[in-house]
Amino acid sequence: MKKIGIASDHGGFELKEYLRKELGNSVEIIDYGTKDESSVDYPIVIAEACKKVLSNEVEGLIALCGTGIGASIAANRHKGIRAALCHDEFTAEMSRRHNNANVLVLGGRVLGKDLAARIAQKWLTTTFEAGRHERRVGQLDTIV
């Protein structure tokens, strides 16, 4: 069974809890916080969770904040992280197929729970096509 991390700030907490329960039958979910709706700094929470992806403790990460924008920016600061902020199933699929995204970012205050679950399920079940995309994905880690 795939082992996937999940992390959020207070703005994504409610959706994180929903997804943790909803996806728990298809993948092993490791919860990296936050543990309640108390205000926390998303750069710190997301950075700590991204370290778990980079150390191969988990195969991928679902990161959440209110809009997903801050979590996406924070995650993409880390060399080796390819975080994709997705709002529908198509972008989730393409983020995996063409960009080999290892972090899915969702906005807890902008997505409905059912849609978010479908997006996450699509991301979790889609694989990287490699081929012509492999060269481009490889170039991402050379950008300084």
Of the residues 50, 65, 78, 87, which is catalytic? 65
108 labeled part of a ligand binding site = no
102 labeled part of a ligand binding site = no
What does the pLDDT look like over 82-133, one tens digit per residue?
A: 999 999 999 999 999 999 999 999 999 999 999 999 999 999 999 998 888 9
The rounded distance, in Å, linking the Cα atoms of 43 and 137 is 24
pLDDT of 142 higher than 90: no
pLDDT score of 1: 80
Strand ranges of the sheet holding 28-31, from the earlier edge strand across to the other edge: 28-31, 3-8, 60-65, 103-107, 83-85
Domain 3-143: CATH superfamily, name plus number: Sugar-phosphate isomerase, RpiB/LacA/LacB (3.40.1400.10)
- Across the chain, the runs of DSSP E, i.e. the strands, are 3-8, 28-31, 60-65, 83-85, 103-107
- By three-state DSSP, how is residue 68 classified? coil
Q: Is residue 119 packed enough to be buried (19+ CB in 10 Å), middle (13-18) or exposed (0-12)? A: buried
Whether 98 is catalytic: yes
87 labeled part of a ligand binding site = no
Q: What is the pTM of this model?
A: 0.95
What does the pLDDT look like over 29-75, one tens digit per residue?
A: 999 999 999 999 999 999 999 999 999 999 999 999 999 999 999 99
Whether 65 is catalytic: yes
41 labeled part of a ligand binding site = no
Of the residues 50, 86, 87, 98, which is catalytic? 98
Integer-rounded Cα radius of gyration of the chain: 14
Tokens of 36: 């309640």
66 labeled part of a ligand binding site = yes
DSSP annotation of 96: H
pLDDT score of 140: 85
Domain boundaries, the chain: 3-143
